[in-house]
Structure 1
């Protein structure tokens, strides 16, 4: 009868410890590969910007050369050449040095949205979101969530506190700094002129900023009914996931910017679209909130 095989004792240098070492090595390799991919992505984006700058410089140089060869169109070509060279300089020197992946921003926003939504639920507040403009540059507006459906807007000083607990029960609720506030200030810094107070023009400009400047969504279509004091923005392919979460940046930018431009409170509501042309509909109203 053969002897039974004795159980193997795990000691230093055993297969179990070798397996742990192998796992740690793989994790380290994955970290290095992740870092390499991030650097490669940043380099690719910077290269894309700088190629655009070279292209604009080429257009400017060709236009200036054409101004010498074709005197009849010199004024137009000089203007085109100067614009091309100026745009090339701006594009080259204003190339971003750091790029944040969309999933990173979405994760950060998601954690904040879950926390604030849980607070709203625990306090027994309504699902109404009212963006109230301020007279200050920071913040441009507060996000007020009332406790009652029939609410009264508190004064500006009361909104500076997270919990609005005035003597009037109709004013009670919570106040938050909107996610769209710093983004709207970026829009204002980049703006070359006064957008005015025409709701259609304001919402169109904000939608362009959401899609082109911040790339928070791929497609936005605006429908404004000034007589009904309502604007609806159809949004498709959001970079930060579902728009029906608390104070989503897309809704927040649109509402904060509109409230600041009109100098009146704006309510925001996001619903899922029932057609294939859009994922969500963001509805802004500024009559009932005033």
Structure 2
């Protein structure tokens, strides 16, 4: 009986050692596979970056080639020399600029979206914990050429213009005041903007929509619809690179609201809703309209009503005869 117990115990120890060895082997294989996948991921990222840089440089070489051909044509065809030399200079300049300004690093949109997602979740949680409203107000900062995001606690509030934040406890402005994601984007947009920033809603909305699509590539399309007299700008967003636009302080909506707040120099109330057949999302910014614009609109409506009344009276007169 004791011999049987001894053999069973010895076999159990052998099986335990064998199982432990098997588990260790599987862990080692898994670690080796993970290292191999990580190395392959790094290689693919580097290859993708090289391909992107190569694409930029091929474009640059193509522009240089076109420029040289145009210059050569200017030498051969004296009648069109001025035009061809101008085209050649433009091609050469564009080629050199594209070649030397080729970015060295590319960040995938999915990476940026994940970084933003953490900020969106934290912002929503903080606003809910403080019992704040769902209003999102972008307020011009008097101390800098930018704007800040204000989330009020009451329906009636005074947008804070000189408070420090992040928590405002003034009686009329109780709420959350933070730096929005669109602030730094707007600073970069204004830095490279050709010309001055517009101060009227129509051209300003066009500038900002172009910035969303052309400069930052945050969306495939941005179609602005402006009602200056009613104090409203609605931008239809298609193909957002950062996912759903109705989240807390989304970069696209934030950039548009900050730009309007700074350009118009007044608070902007932001609202985002699902789009229609023309756009995925509708980003609506509301603000206090200029009195002269609203007054002109009212005058036009009054004149239209008066003209309609005159037309009606004429018709009645004609009918009496």
Please show how residues 86-101 of structure 1 align to structure 2 within 5 Å.
86-101=93-108
What are structure 2's unaligned runs of at least 5 residues? 1-6, 290-321
- Secondary structure in 2 aligned to 1:217? coil
CA deviations over 1:2-54 (Å, ceiling 9, x no partner):
x9994512359822211111111111011101111110111111111111111
Correspondence 1:261 to 2:263: yes
2:184 and 2:97 map into 1 onto residues whose CA distance is 23
Q: 1:154 aligns with which of 125, 136, 160?
A: 160
CA RMSD of aligned residues (A): 2.0
1:135 and 1:202 map into 2 onto residues whose CA distance is 20
What are structure 1's unaligned runs of at least 5 residues? none
- Secondary structure in 2 aligned to 1:235? strand
Q: 1:45 aligns with which of 32, 39, 52?
A: 52
Q: 1:286 corresponds to which residue? A: 287
Q: 1:113 corresponds to which residue? A: 120
2:255 and 2:248 map into 1 onto residues whose CA distance is 13
**Larger gyration radius, structure 1 or structure 2:** 2
Do the aligned residues in 2 keep the contact of 1:220 with 1:236 (CA within 8 Å)?
A: yes
2:81 and 2:197 map into 1 onto residues whose CA distance is 33
Do the aligned residues in 2 keep the contact of 1:231 with 1:283 (CA within 8 Å)?
A: yes
- Secondary structure in 2 aligned to 1:232? strand
Q: How many residues align?
A: 281
CA deviations over 1:136-177 (Å, ceiling 9, x no partner):
44x611111111111112232x1x2200111x2x31111010
CA deviations over 1:73-128 (Å, ceiling 9, x no partner):
22222222111111111111111111111111111100011101110111111111
Correspondence 1:35 to 2:42: yes
Do the aligned residues in 1 keep the contact of 2:139 with 2:161 (CA within 8 Å)?
A: no
- Secondary structure in 2 aligned to 1:10? helix
Under a length normalisation based on structure 2, what TM-score does the superposition of the two structures give? 0.83
CA deviations over 1:198-221 (Å, ceiling 9, x no partner):
212111111111112111111111
